[in-house]
Amino acid sequence: MGRRSGAGTAFGIAAGAVGLLAAAVGITAGAITIVMARRVVTPVSARPDDVKIHAVDLASGEVVLEATDETRMPGRYGLWFDRDAGHARLGDVVDDGAKSVRRRIEAVDFGRLDRAARGRITGWYHLGPWDLGYDYENVVVETSLGPAPAWFIPADTPSERWIIQVHGRGAKRHETLRAVAPAHEAGWNSLLIAYRNDGEAPESEDRRYGLGGTEWADVVAAVRYAVAHGAERVVLMGWSMGGMIALQAVLRSATVRERLVGVILDSPAVDWVDILRFQGTLQNLPPGFGDAVVRLLGGPIGAGLTGMAAPISVEELDPVARAGELDVPILLMHSVDDGFVPIDGSRRLAAARPDLVEFEVFEGARHTKLWNHDPRRWSGLVRGWLERSHATARELVDEAEISG
């Protein structure tokens, strides 16, 4: 009896330990899910300097950086350093070694690059519209949350064609400056907007991203501003999460659709389920964490755990499921090696509406750095597409006048 009792006790202890371990694993998994969900909807206040600066030679105009996928990319980029206290513009790669990359320095806008130890590469090459050499105005778009700043860059001659730029998550309107030149050359006015919780526009009560499900209202306000100032034809251009925001504005607002003649998307967030799964793999998390985050964001307790005012049904944001409602041409550009937003969602959107979507695939350009990687191709695509959109719109007007 004593042996049986001891064995039973040992088995009970082992079973209890397994139960405690399983509970601990479950608690850990739940905590990680909450952290990921909060990170997705919480605006970025500061970005880390994630690249080592090994050496700077201002006399030769070169900088030596730690070798990474980002620092190795050909093209022109911005380099923020000293926690955004300094900014430089980098040119092409001079030498690509195993552990370091030597690049040209095109300009040091401010700060002491020669004293910097770390920085971060960004696709924001321009600091403001003053860099572009065009006339511009600081304007205000009245949103439901209050006034939001915007930049207006008019075409050389008065135009009723407006392209409204919508930046991505964790970015600002500066990101979209790269599209101004091709739009200007095609004869379009540009309106570069801010939206809720981006650090420039008014904050929402919860100070959380809606992943497109709330921000689209600020795009509607921008369209109203454009129409009030003479816009007859409007194109929305969205970058990364700005692509999702632009698509939600199209799908949800009759005001937008009245003047809309097209949409341009650069590295767009089309499928949040895909994106969250992909982000989970980047964090070396087991399969299923991305789906757990989706369930938490849309569940009844998700708002309380993440700080959101209301749950986000990620599935309801899927523009592919509503692709049949789209009725204007779309220029869609994405890199196969995006590294942040997988291209799969863009492929599905293009496949769902091949009659409307001109799908341009890049390689080696990563996330929202298509202009930086290949400015001639990217600018030519945007300019040519806008010129064709103008011609098509003009033909429709002419046909209507003739039939009338």
Give per-residue pLDDT as tens, 281-339.
Answer: 888 888 788 899 999 999 988 888 999 999 999 989 999 999 999 999 999 999 999 99
Task: Give yes or no for residue 9 having a pLDDT over 70.
Answer: no
pLDDT of residue 286: 80
How many Å apart are CA 70 and CA 272, to the nearest integer?
24
The 10s digit of each residue's pLDDT in 186-195 is 999 999 999 9
Alpha helix segments (H runs only) across 171-211: 180-185
Confidence grade of residue 28 (pLDDT, cut at 50, 70, 90): low
Greater model confidence, 153 or 18: 153
Task: Give yes or no for residue 18 having a pLDDT over 50.
Answer: no
Task: Give yes or no for residue 19 having a pLDDT over 70.
Answer: no
Structure tokens at 40: 């997705």
Angular region, 360: left φ>0, alpha ψ -120 to 50, beta rest? beta
> What single letter denotes the amino acid at residue 377?
R
SS3 358: strand
pLDDT of residue 194: 98
SS3 301: coil
Task: Give yes or no for residue 16 having a pLDDT over 50.
Answer: no
Structure tokens at 85: 């206290």
The 10s digit of each residue's pLDDT in 99-143 is 999 999 999 999 999 999 999 999 999 999 999 999 999 999 999
The C-alpha torsion from 279 through 281 and 287 to 293, rounded to 10°, is -20
Task: Give yes or no for residue 271 having a pLDDT over 90.
Answer: yes
Place of tokens 């900088």: 63
Percent of the chain with pLDDT over 70: 89
Which of 297, 309, 302 is CA-nearest to residue 208? 309
pLDDT of residue 397: 43
**118-122/233-239 β-pairing:** unpaired
How many Å apart are CA 322 and CA 311, to the nearest integer?
21
Average per-residue pLDDT for the chain: 91
> What single letter denotes the amino acid at residue 208?
R
Query: How large is the average pLDDT for residues 6-30?
Result: 51
Q: Does pTM top 0.95 for this prediction?
A: no
pLDDT of residue 396: 46
The C-alpha torsion from 335 through 164 and 168 to 49, rounded to 10°, is 90
Place of tokens 């003047």: 259
Task: Give yes or no for residue 352 having a pLDDT over 80.
Answer: yes
Task: Give yes or no for residue 358 having a pLDDT over 80.
Answer: yes
Residues in the chain: 404
SS3 139: strand
